[in-house]
Structure 1
Amino acid sequence: MRKLGRYLLEGRLGAGSFATVWKAYDPELDTDVAVKVLADNWASNADVRERFLAEARLLRRISSPRVVRVHDVGVQDDRPYFVMDYVPGGTLAEKIGHCRPAEALHLAAEAGYAVQVLHDTGVVHRDIKPSNLLLDAGRTPTAVLVADLGSAKQLADASGLTVTTGTPAYMAPEQAFQTGGFDGRADVYALGVVTFELLTGRKPFGSGGRATLTTEQASTSSPPAIPSDLGVPNGIDRLLRAALSVDPGDRPQTAQAFADALLSQGGGEWAPARSSRPTRLVVWLAAIVVYLVTAVLTWLVR
């Protein structure tokens, strides 16, 4: 079994242009972890190395159960790596085409709440897509965590021109064409694409190359509708059309607002619990039950 530092690599979880993520085992802490390793052909590029380590620092700085956390960094054979939470359950990509509408709306809302955590810390992700959204099957209902901040950018720096990065099918027009900067509403657009895909099993726009796809996105005044036979409430269709608007001002203005609207328009069947504390009614009813049981036992003893 290959070893990276003290970590035993067990299998590949995913790979991209710049790095590979492995499932690994930490023998000292007796726990599974995920290890992201910079690709060998980029290891000598100082700029790429710095971006790679900047992602690790950013993930470490954002302390939230909705964002993957970094625990360690290292270098082996001149290739940097960092160690993260291992999240059981795979990614949202594995749910495409296999979701009932209620589950799709729950997962999409969970993704929205996770993205809002980034925005609250002043970060825009720039590459929201199903493979970057992890499923934590250890929670009930299933929680979604956001990962891969390799393309992330500080919101304060996103108002001017920047290098175009991201996955074309999920990129907002202003992000793809660099028209006057962008903000967190670009991630809301991507969440709209992800939600459409979870509900229908396909992306709302074609699968051509970057130029063809982004032109179609930017020139489409009315995004495709959700098929009526899915039984999705009309409010969800209107919400997704808004989220996929060319004009950021016509979209839900925050990821939180988008997620809340998904649960509200979808009937709230999969709404996550807001608090684990019992309500006053539950406490009151429990007190009555205890009183009655005590009274009955006292009567029997007599």
Structure 2
Amino acid sequence: MAAPGAPEPQLGRYRVGDVIGVGSFATVHRAVDERLDDVVVVKVLAENHSLNPEIRERFIAEGRALRRVASPHVVAVHDIGESDRQQPYLVLEHADRGTLAARVATLRADGWAATPADVLAVARGLAAAVEAVHAARLVHRDLSPGNVLLRTSPEGVVEGAGGADAAGTSAVVRPDERLVVADLGMSKDLARSSGLTVAGGTEGFRPPEQDAPGTVDTRADLWAMSALLTWLVEGADLPRALDAALRRSLAGSPARRHPDAAAWLADVERALSPGTTPSPDRTRRPTAVVAAVTAAVLGLGAGAGFTAWLDRPRAAAGSASVAISGPATAIVGEPVTLTADVAGTEHWVWTLPTGAYVTDDDTVRLTASSPGDAEVVLEARAPDGTALTTVHPLQVDAGS
């Protein structure tokens, strides 16, 4: 910001004002487009980094990536330029209502906890943004509360997120606001590469495949979306089906996550539909699980078509663990019962071969319609936050 009485610095036709954000590589200013008489944001690459060709090109690539994405839920880039000191800058849409991180912090200071309307408002805007990013053959790679912004919507314009619906009115994305995703500085262009990328992302919202150099695809963003909603709903009394929906895309293996943002949103909306049961406040006891396992074994009977009854290896962290007990084989048309052997955690999620999920049930009952190989996954989270996963393979035979 200029000293009192001094003219504000100028970048082309943009009169640069207050600093509203400082990152590792760039500084973000509020500015005025003097030609259009409009408030914008100018993001300027730091002078020392402007001399690094790799960082310089990555900064410019962010502007090009934003230009490719057509969505009211992704920050628009208006212009790109270079200062007299050879610092490239981007001119971006101004999100005048701040970040999602700041909004939630303010609400929590007043004792707020997320409602279904809050979750849906964020999820719908986020899914719309991510769908547009993926349609442009990009992976965002850094979805976090600080990179999700809020801006005023034009009067009378329906943005598809925020406002009121059957779930009520959101305090997070208000009726006159639009959620927008920013900062594609780490985005990966899938059309120009194999997906190999360097490590990166915001701690706590970074999928496991981004912890080190490796391959990423669009499912990395789905993990971050679920992590972001998990952060949003902390301390809230919401249906346990929501936890199951979010856990699916928090799977360590991308193959077990939702296939795309639309499927992710459909699960979230289904979990929050009217009549869904809130999460119970209860503690699981290993003795109750053992009793359920015993009942399931006694109920099998002879000639059920099983060739083995297996106790699968546990996935454990400290005193918490998950395992699946059940048959390794089954026959088409004959039911199979699998049992959760869970200790030290309150909630768990089954993922069935159909892609459906079941939360907190001690047993699941499956009937195969065709022969082949399948797997059932049981996931939970230890009290220290460690993800626990076990996979139970099933070989399905046609029978006689």
Report matched runs for 1:243-282 at 5 Å: 243-267=249-273
Distance, in Å, in 2 between the alignment partners of 1:239 and 1:126 is 21
Q: Which runs of 5+ in 2 are unaligned?
A: 1-7, 108-112, 154-158, 164-174, 275-400
1:55 aligns with 2:62: yes
Partner of residue 120 from structure 1, selected from 127, 135, 144: 135
Q: Which has the higher contact order (CA 8 A, sep 6+)?
A: 1
Indicate yes or no: 2:190 matched with 1:155. yes
Residue 29 (structure 1) aligned with residue 64 (structure 2): no
Higher mean alpha-carbon deviation, 256-265 vs 123-132, is at: 256-265
Partner Cα distance (2:195, 2:93) in 1: 33
Bigger fraction of residues in helix: 1
Shift of 1:104: 3.1
- TM-score (norm: length of structure 2): 0.56
**Partner residue of 1:40 out of 39, 47, 51:** 47
Tell me, in whole angstroms, the C-alpha distance in 1 between the residues paired with 2:263 and 2:11: 42
Q: Deviations over 1:240-269 (max 9, x none)?
A: 22121111122212122212322232127x
- Measured in 1, the distance between the counterparts of 2:122 and 2:178 equals 7
Choose from 195, 198, 218 the match for 2:229. 195
Residue aligning to 1:219: none
Residue pair 1:96, 1:197 contacting (<8 A) in 2 also: no
Q: 1:143 to 1:262 in 2, by over 3 A?
A: farther
**Structure 1 residues 10 and 144, CA, compared in 2 at 3 Å: closer, same or farther?**
same
Tell me, yes or no, if structure 1 residue 90 matches structure 2 residue 104: no
Quote the offset at 1:105 in angstroms: 3.4
Give the conservation status (yes or no) of the 8 Å contact 2:223–2:249: yes
Cα deviation, residue 156, structure 1: 4.0
| Residue correspondence of structure 1 range 175-194 to structure 2 within 5 A | 175-178=210-213, 181-194=215-228
What secondary structure does 1:170 align onto?
coil
SS of the aligned residue for 1:104 comes to: helix
- Equivalent residue, structure 2, for 1:291: none
| 8 Å contact kept, 1:109–1:258 | no
Q: CA deviation at 1:178?
A: 4.3
Secondary structure at 1:246 match in 2: coil
Q: Deviations over 1:32-57 (max 9, x none)?
A: 10111001110111111111111111
Where 2:183 maps in the other structure, the secondary structure is coil
Q: Which structure 1 segments of 5+ residues have no match?
A: 201-226, 269-302
> What secondary structure does 1:169 align onto?
coil
- Residue 171 (1) aligns with residue 186 (2): no
Contact 1:64–1:117 (Cα < 8 Å) also in 2 = yes
SS of the residue 1:96 aligns to: helix
1:136 corresponds to 2:151: yes
State the match for 2:74 in structure 1.
Answer: 67
AA aligned opposite 1:22: H
Code of the residue aligned with 2:221 in structure 1: it is: D
- Residue among 109, 123, 133 paired with 2:124: 109
Scaled by the length of structure 1, the TM-score of the pair is: 0.74
SS at match of 2:78: strand
1:152, distance to aligned residue in structure 2 (A): 0.4
Q: Deviations over 1:184-225 (max 9, x none)?
A: 11101011111011111xxxxxxxxxxxxxxxxxxxxxxxxx
**Are the counterparts in 2 of residues 107 and 143 from structure 1 also a CA contact under 8 Å?**
no
* Bigger Rg, structure 1 or 2: 2
- Over the aligned positions, Cα root-mean-square deviation in angstroms equals 2.1
2: CA distance, partners of 1:28 / 1:257: 43
User: Is contact 2:197-2:216 (8 Å) kept?
Assistant: no
1:203 maps to none
Moved more, 99-108 or 5-14: 99-108
1:95–1:198 CA contact under 8 A, matched in 2? no
Read off the aligned partner of 2:62 and give its amino acid letter. Answer: E
Pairing partner for 2:89 from 81, 103, 108: 81
* Conservation of the 8 A alpha-carbon contact between 2:68 and 2:136: no
- Residue pair 2:100, 2:145 contacting (<8 A) in 1 also: yes
Pairwise CA distance, 1:136: 2.3
SS of the equivalent of 1:192 reads helix
